[in-house]
Structures are given as C-alpha cells and as structure tokens.
A and B are shown apart, each in its own frame.
Chain A
Amino acid sequence: MKTLHLVFITLFFIFFGGCASTQVILLEGSKESSAVVVKTQAGEQVINVPRGQTKISSAKETPSAPKVLTQEDVQKQFGALIAKAPKPPVSFLLYFKSGGTVLTEESEKLFTLIEQSIKERTPCDVNIIGHADRAGSTHYNITLSLNRAKSVHTWFSKQSLDIRAITVESYGEEDPIIPTKDGVSEPKNRRVEILIR
C-alpha cells in the first residue's frame, strides 16, 4: 500500500478556555518534521515538536514559548476529540501491464484491502484517477488511462459497497510518478490511483 499522494504532515488543536486564552498543540502526524506557525500582530512562534503547546492571550502579544505536554495531558484534555476524528483518507496505486487494462498480479491482490478501507470510512467518496506512461501518443494515452480508470470503476460497481459518489478521471501521461522522456515505457507510471475519502 502506497500513500504517495496523500500525506498528513500536521495535526493540531485549537482550544479556547474560559479566560479567553487560546492554545495550539501540535500532534504526532504520520510524518516527521511537521510544524505549525502561530502568528499574532506582535510576533510568531514555531512549534515543531510533537505535543508542543503554545498559548495566546491576545492579538497584541507574542504566543508563549512552546511547552511540551505529556501524552496523558493531551489524552485527558482532548482524548475524546482525537478518538472521534474521522479516519484520514487513504490512497492505493494499482499498476497495469503495458498497453492495456490488465492489472499486474500484485495489484490484483490489493482489492481486499481496498474493500476494507472503504468499509472503515463509510460514508465516503472515491476518486479513480487513471494514468499512463509516455509510450504511445499523448492522445492514445488519454484514452488508455481513461480505460484503465473505467476498468477499475467496473470492479467497484460490481461490489455492494456503500459509496456516496465515485469520480472517474484520467490524467493521461501528464502526471507521472517517475518523469521520463516521450516514448518511454515506465511500469510505475502505468497506474490507477484510488483515493478513498
């Protein structure tokens, strides 16, 4: 499973207490080196460590120097909110054999996981985006990538999955994972991206 096109770098809270003091807390995201910048008229504060917290008392004051909260503090104050947050979207890449709409054997196996991811995210929307490599003309690749996306869509329509809306798109050879010269066959670019959100 690859999540190349969806990356969650930042996670934070904002909280307004009774005495008009705002706080911002950076949470652990799935990627390292995420940061938030909290700005007022007076200045700014960067938080770049997990569970780092800054307090802001007014627009005319610089946010407080970051303080790192303990896991327990965060859970106690915001555990319910964290638990209720919707599951982030997930994306899958299905690869194809050259020149057609036949999936590679490895990609065939992903459908069980795709089905499960959809069930965990109901109600959800799904985007199916077809891509081609640069072997063949631009025009040919637009049709080919659309046909790839449509073949995946056919699979979806045969399942009894509770999906609110499915969008089928094709980017032709315009959005490669690995940029190549024209005419080059590149297995990583012959793909359909499925975005479940």
Chain B
Amino acid sequence: MKRWLGMSLFFSFLLSLSAFSNDEIAIVKHTEGTVTLKRNTTITPLKQRDQLLKNDIVITGEKSSVGVIFHDGSVLSLGEKSHLVIEEFTFKPLEKQFKFDLYMNKGTALFESGKIGTLAPEAFEFKIPEGTVGIRGTKFIVEVK
C-alpha cells in the first residue's frame, strides 16, 4: 500500500514536471540594462536563458533591451521603456491549434513572425492601446502547406 502511494506520488511528480516544461513558451536570448519580469504577483529581474510563460509581463527600463525567441520561432526584441504582456500563446502544429496575442501599451518592439505567422496568420494579434496589428498571409503559406 505504502509502496503504491509512493509510486503514484512519483508519477504525479513526473507529470507535473512535464506539464511545467510544456508551459514554457519562449527563451530569453539576451538582456541589457534593467529588464524585469512580472509573473502573477512576483517581480524578478529577467536574465539570459530564462523561460517565459503565458501571462508574463516583460518590462524594460531606460537604456535597456531584451531579445526573446518564442517556441514557434517568432522573434521579439524590445527597446527601452517598454511594457509588454504575453496574453496568449498556443502552438500545437500537429493538432492545428494556434493562438498568439501580445499587448504592448508602451515602448518599442521589433517582431518577426515564425511558424504561427505562416501556418495561421489570423491567430496572431499584436495589440496596442489604439487597436491591433495583424499579419496577412502570403503566397508562401500555400507552398508550405
């Protein structure tokens, strides 16, 4: 009985481990100056090699920047004094499930779309206070499919 309990605990631990790694949606490639991560109610400095999760908020200070690569290959680079929320990120190509929403209420961002931009451009939205920026499909989409 005890042994079974131990086993099941072990398995649930394994499951939670894998669930955690699946939640990771992006890797931090570089940071410069003051870059802060706001996750739920905690605020921590963001460093190179850190992973980002859905609902994370990335904030850059003066003369600061951060570069991030999302799991679909999208590139995001934020300049100084920026505030960006990763509202949604679902990338499951085999199940054809895609959703990618970013919201920036101030700052400068460079964004280069990855697989979601190619496979499901309508699933991507870069929100700004005045409205949204979306991407249009290209001839190339047909070719890839």
Contacts and interface: CB of A to CB of B under 8 A. Distances in A.
Interface string B126-140: 101111111110111
Interface string A115-139: 0000001011100000000000000
A172 B109 CA distance: 39
Contacts of A56: 128, 130-131
Contacts of A27: 110
B67 A84 contact: yes
A33 B138 contact: yes
B134 A37 contact: yes
Contact of A36 (B27, B65, B133): B133
Contact of A35 (B73, B132, B135): B135
Contacts, number: 153
Nearest to B67: A86
B135 A9 contact: yes
A45 B25 CA distance: 30
A46 interface: yes
A79 B115 CA distance: 25
Nearest to B136: A35
B114 interface: yes
A37 B108 CA distance: 18
Interface size class on chain A is 35 or more
B135 A37 contact: yes
A174 B94 contact: yes
B27 A125 contact: yes
A8 B113 contact: yes
Interface string A87-103: 01100000000000000
A37 B110 contact: no
A143 interface: no
A7 B144 contact: yes
A40 interface: yes
Contacts of B135: 9-10, 34-37
Nearest to A82: B110
Given A6-B115, A81-B77, A197-B27, A123 B48 contact: yes
A49 B129 CA distance: 24
Interface of A: 4-16, 22, 24, 27, 29, 31-41, 46, 48, 56-59, 63, 78, 80-82, 84-86, 88-89, 121, 123-125, 164, 171, 174-175, 195, 197
7 contacts: A7-B115, A13-B108, A36-B134, A85-B112, A86-B75, A88-B112, A125-B27
